[in-house]
């Protein structure tokens, strides 16, 4: 299935939201539980993750994310910081931090849901 199989409607023409749910894996690459078509997830270091796209999703506009867990209190104070979208290698990288702002992996029974917005063409609003 192509990355733009179900384009979203937004207040800006040509924006597409790509959603991915990652399941932590205790210091290994996370499992892509949802939104796996054309996306590969890897762990590049403690708390550092890379999403690689099989095709160009467009011009990066922004992202939204949320954490989940079997024990939600385990994620208290967690945040994620993104890099710019690598248009040459079609990669999106981000780092997860715990409440002490120390890089921290998402582990088993912890999730990160990411919604990335890309513009396919046209001009922004």
Number of domains in the chain: 1
Q: What is the pLDDT of residue 13?
A: 74
Is 57 part of any domain? yes
Which backbone phi and psi does 66 adopt, to 5 degrees?
Answer: -150, 155
* Cα–Cα distance, 46 to 29 (Å, whole number): 11
Q: Does residue 20 belong to any structural domain of this protein? A: yes
State the chain's mean pLDDT as an integer. Answer: 89
Q: What is the pLDDT of residue 37?
A: 82
pLDDT at 1: 47
**Tens of pLDDT along 49-88?**
999 999 999 999 999 999 999 999 989 999 999 999 999 9
Cβ neighbours for 105, distance < 8 A, ≥ 6 positions apart: 24, 26, 27, 43, 46, 47, 96
Domain encompassing residue 57 = 15-119
Q: Give the strand pairing for 59-69 and 31-34.
A: unpaired
pLDDT computed for residue 83 by the predictor? 96
**Residue 49 · residue 41 · CB < 8 Å:** yes
Look at residue 89 and tell me if it is in a domain: yes
Q: What pTM was computed for the model? A: 0.86
Residue 125 within any structural domain of the chain: no
Return the CATH number at 73: 2.60.40
- Judge whether 60 lies within some domain: yes
CA angle 60, 57, 123 (to 5 degrees): 55
Share of residues in the chain with pLDDT > 90 (%): 71
Average pLDDT score over residue span 4-14: 67
| 29: pLDDT strictly greater than 60 | yes
3-state secondary structure of 73: helix
pLDDT attached to residue 124: 54
Is position 7 within any domain?
A: no
Inside any domain, residue 81: yes
């Amino acid at each position: 299935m192509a990355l733009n199989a179900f384009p979203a409607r937004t207040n800006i023409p040509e924006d597409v939201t790509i959603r991915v749910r990652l399941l932590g894996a205790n210091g290994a690459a996370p499992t892509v539980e949802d939104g796996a078509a054309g996306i590969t997830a890897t762990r590049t270091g403690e708390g550092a993750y890379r999403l690689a796209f099989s095709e160009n999703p467009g011009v990066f506009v922004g992202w939204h994310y949320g954490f989940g867990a079997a024990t939600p209190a385990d994620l208290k104070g967690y945040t994620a910081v993104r890099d710019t979208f690598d248009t040459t290698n079609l990669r999106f990288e981000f780092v997860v931090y715990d409440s002490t702002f120390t890089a921290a992996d998402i582990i088993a029974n912890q999730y990160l849901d990411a919604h990335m917005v890309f513009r396919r063409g046209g001009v922004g609003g």
